[in-house]
Structure 1
Amino acid sequence: MILILLFGMASAWAAVNINTASIQQLQSLPYIGAVKAQAIVDYRNTHGSFHSTKDIMRVKGIGKATYEKLQNDISVSGESVNPAVSSSKYRRALPATAAR
């Protein structure tokens, strides 16, 4: 029973896997727009998988400050989920038209 509970909690804290995420999934991350999302995909297509989340700083336009803001929302393994669910530091507000 405890294992099931722990597994459920771990799933709730899952993040966007930067090795497998689509451009759209990457854009759901805080501070990652279309250009940076494409740069992440281009980097991994050229250099292969990221071995640690810190490797994302090798992508042009993503430095230490951006990494520190992203580190709780990204992973290099597992299934990608919406980072807004896993991060308490960042919440994207829905546009007023989407709330209707």
Structure 2
Amino acid sequence: MKFKQILASFFLAIMMISTPVFAGDHMVDINSATAEQLQEVKGIGDKTAMAIVAYRNKHGAYKKVGDLLHVKGIGEKKLAKIKDSLTIGNQDD
């Protein structure tokens, strides 16, 4: 019985370490996310998500989340609302 509790605690700890938690939401990687995954972010609709993916396909990977300002339809205000839910892999902006 004790071994099962230790094992369960171990797996729970591993899951907590490997899964980022951000105010109940998860981070979306703008360099690998599909348009559908991008739409999970509050403030990103269908057109914006498709524009983010299209820009990435044409110009290559984003170097920082702030590069989204180059995407048509994303300005300073919109970026300020969505940036906390976005990442570029291991680095955040």
TM-score, normalising length: structure 1 = 0.66
Say whether residues 1:41 and 2:53 are aligned partners: yes
User: 1:8 matched to which residue of 2?
Assistant: 17
SS in 2 for 1:72: helix
In the comparison of the two structures, how many residue pairs are matched?
75
Contiguous gaps of at least 5 residues in structure 1: 79-100
Q: Sequence identity, in percent?
A: 34
Residue number among 63, 67, 85 corresponding to 2:75 in the alignment: 63
How many angstroms apart in 2 are the aligned matches of 1:28 and 1:70? 11
Q: Deviations over 1:23-50 (max 9, x none)?
A: 1110111111111110000000000000
Letter of the structure 2 residue corresponding to residue 47 of structure 1: H
Residue number among 53, 63, 67 corresponding to 2:65 in the alignment: 53
Superposition RMSD in Å:
2.1
TM-score, normalising length: structure 2 = 0.71
Which one has more relative contact order, counting CA pairs under 8 Å at least 6 apart?
Answer: 1
Contiguous gaps of at least 5 residues in structure 2: 1-12
How many angstroms apart in 2 are the aligned matches of 1:11 and 1:71? 16
User: 2:85 matched to which residue of 1?
Assistant: 73
Residue 9 of structure 1: how far off its partner (Å): 8.0
Give structure 1 regions of 4+ aligned residues with deviation exceeding 4 angstroms: none
